[in-house]
Every structure is written in C-alpha cells, then in structure tokens.
Amino acid sequence: MRNYSRKVIPVFLALLLVFSVPFSSYEGTAEAASGNKPVRLVMLQKRAQDNGSVTSAFRSVGVKVTSVTTLKQADPKKYDGLILPGGSNDIVPSLYGAKNYGKSIYPDIKFDRRQIKAMKRFVKAGKPVLGICRGMQVINVAFGGSMKQDLCPRHCGFRRMRNVKGSLERRVLGKYCMAYHSHHQGVKRLGKGLVVTSYDSRSKEVEGFKHETLPVYGMQWHPELRRSVQGTKGLFRTFKKECLKCRKAKNPLSIRGKTVKVSYNKVKKKAQKLPVKKVISFKHKGKGKMRYARVSGSKRLIINKKTGKVTVKKRTKKGTYRIKVMVKAAGNANYKPSSAKTVTIKIKVR
C-alpha cells in the first residue's frame, strides 16, 4: 500500500500543478513556441504602478505591458504599440483652442504634451495606439479635435452603447452592449481622420472611434474592467493581432537618399552637349510609389517627378551644382499614409 501511494501521489501533484496554470497564459507560451517574439506594449501614464487592470487584461491574451512615466522610456523601437490609459487629469482646454471655464479638473499641460508626442512617435513608426477613457480624449485632441468640458449628466456606471456596423466593437460585442463608463467629458468635434465606432444609446455621445487609415483606436468606456461588458477579451486579442500585423508590415515613412556626385571632363566646345542622365536611387520601406519634386537649387538640373532621374542641361559650365529634392513615399496596403523627406543632391561638372 505504501509503494502504491508513493507512485500515485507524485502523479497527482504533477497533474494538479499543470491544471492550476491559468488557460490565459497559454496564449503567450504558444506564441513563444512558434518562434515569434511576444508582443510588448508600453503604457505611458503620470505615475508608475497605476492602472493594473489594463496590464492584467492584456496579460490574459499573452501580451506584456510595461508602465513608464517619461517620454524617453516610451521608445517605439522597443515596443510594438502604445497604450494611453485613463486618469483623473482632464486635458488642458488651450490645447484644443478653448478656455477653462472651471469644469476641467486637475489639468496638467506637461503630461498632455508628453502623451501627444508619444502618440505621434508611434504613429510615425507605423505602430498601433490604443486610448482608453482619458487616452481616447488625448488622441482626439492630437488629431485636431475638441472636447466638451462637462457632460450633463455625467456618464458613470453601466450604460447602453450602440456599436456602428463594420466596427471592431460590433464584431466582438454585437450591435448593443452594456459597458462601464466613468467620465464627465466627451468629444465635441472629432479629430481629422477619426471615424465613430460606438456611441451612447441615450445621449448619443461618442464612446469609441478609430482612424481611417492608421492603426489608432479610442474607447471612452473601460473594457479592461472585469465588471464591464463580457467579451472584451476579444478586443485585446484583436489589438494584439494588429500589433503583429504592423510588425510584419513595411513602413514607408523611412526614406534614405544618396548624395550623388557626377564628374565630367573639361568642355572643349562651348556648345558641347552633355547627354547625361543619372538615376538618383532612394531606398524606402514599403511598396508605395515614389514622387519627386524640386524644392530649391540650380535650374541646370532637371528632375523627373515620377522616375527621379536627374538630367544635366547642355552647355552647362564646369562647377558644383546642388539641388534640393522632396521625396514622397506613398503608403502600402498595411500602412496607407504618405510621408515626405528632403534630400540634397550634389553634382560636380569638371
């Protein structure tokens, strides 16, 4: 009997240890086993060790969230996405061209600018951004929107929300859902490029939006709280997939141009032609088309807007010629916005 118990007890303890591990942790381990690096997000907030509910919500889908308080720590090169969480500090009204009528509580313009700069950095790097409650308001202001400084009545507790057809909330939560809210300010004017994805059924206030082309999402309610609507785990899982998608996507915002030097022999005849065409090669990330435009420089150099070929006019005297060219890279299917960069080209005629 003793020998039997010695064999059974270790097996029982091993099974108990295996099944005591939460099933949510298997998402991260399965991803690591497949060879992909686990998704890492950074959450920029005013104080460290805050908004633990957001961290635990993303942990349940295998995503690691690091909380930071400075702009330097929120580096897009180190993380796959940015989280702007909720908070008690209202946005300074001057940032959206309004006066503070005493309704904006505990404004902190330094913190507002810090989060706006961080958001713009991640957008420029082509990485997703998620704003929750106050974070959604920061995104709206960053894109040129404005805020209602005080809602009457305030949105507190559970409220019925309607999700727009085709939105992420509609796919995950359905047409209507009861969600937990805790905010006294709302969107007055939507920022440029933002589209409403959900709104309050009673007051018609905007409760969620996304950007038309960028991987930027905003939710005025609190999907991270357990007491909120069921099924929110699907929202975090979808945001994780968006981070993986943008990690693989090529970002056309990085443009690198070469400074080209072309040399010619001394001109024997005054009317001698210089039939030279030099292709200026620009390396950029993405499959988007390139466009070229002259900014300043010598008129002896002609640049083709579509191909980027530079032609040196005939009867050009010897010397050094410079031309400033604006290079525009259009977006691809995964990252649509275009960007521009100015490059100086140097050509020597001898």
Q: Is the pLDDT of residue 176 over 80?
A: yes
> For the whole prediction, is pTM greater than 0.75?
no
Highest averaged pLDDT of the listed ranges 25-29, 101-105, 205-209, 275-279: 205-209
Could you give the residue numbers annotated as active site? 133, 222, 224
Residues forming beta bridges with residue 258, ordered by sequence position: none
Q: Helices (DSSP H) in the chain: which residue ranges?
A: 2-20, 26-33, 52-59, 109-124, 134-142, 168-173, 233-248
Which residues lie closer than 8 Å to 193 by C-beta, 6 or more apart?
143, 211, 212, 213, 214
Domain annotation for the chain: domains and CATH numbers: 22-248 (3.40.50.880), 255-349 (2.60.40.60)
Mean predicted confidence (pLDDT) in 154-183: 87
Can you read off the two tokens belonging to residue 25?
A: 């942790």
pLDDT of the residue at 32: 47
d(CA 64, CA 76): 15
Q: Is the pLDDT of residue 175 over 50?
A: yes
Q: Is the pLDDT of residue 343 over 50?
A: yes
pLDDT of the residue at 279: 42
pLDDT of the residue at 336: 53
Contact 217, 210 (CB under 8 A): yes
pLDDT of the residue at 329: 67
Can you read off the two tokens belonging to residue 51?
A: 């908004």
Mean predicted confidence (pLDDT) in 279-296: 62
pLDDT of the residue at 28: 52
Three-state SS for 320?
Answer: strand
Among 174, 154, 150, smallest CA distance to 164 is for 174
Q: Is the pLDDT of residue 277 over 90?
A: no
Can you read off the two tokens belonging to residue 315?
A: 């009867």
Mean predicted confidence (pLDDT) in 200-229: 85
Residue range 67-120, pLDDT digits in tens: 999 999 999 989 999 999 988 888 989 998 888 877 777 888 999 999 999 999
Q: Check residues 186 and 290 and name the one with the higher pLDDT.
A: 186
Q: Check residues 204 and 18 and name the one with the higher pLDDT.
A: 204
Cβ neighbour number for residue 233 with a 10 Å cutoff: 15
* E strand or H helix at 272: none
Which residues lie closer than 8 Å to 222 by C-beta, 6 or more apart?
53, 86, 132, 133, 179, 180, 181, 182, 228
Q: Is the pLDDT of residue 34 over 90?
A: no
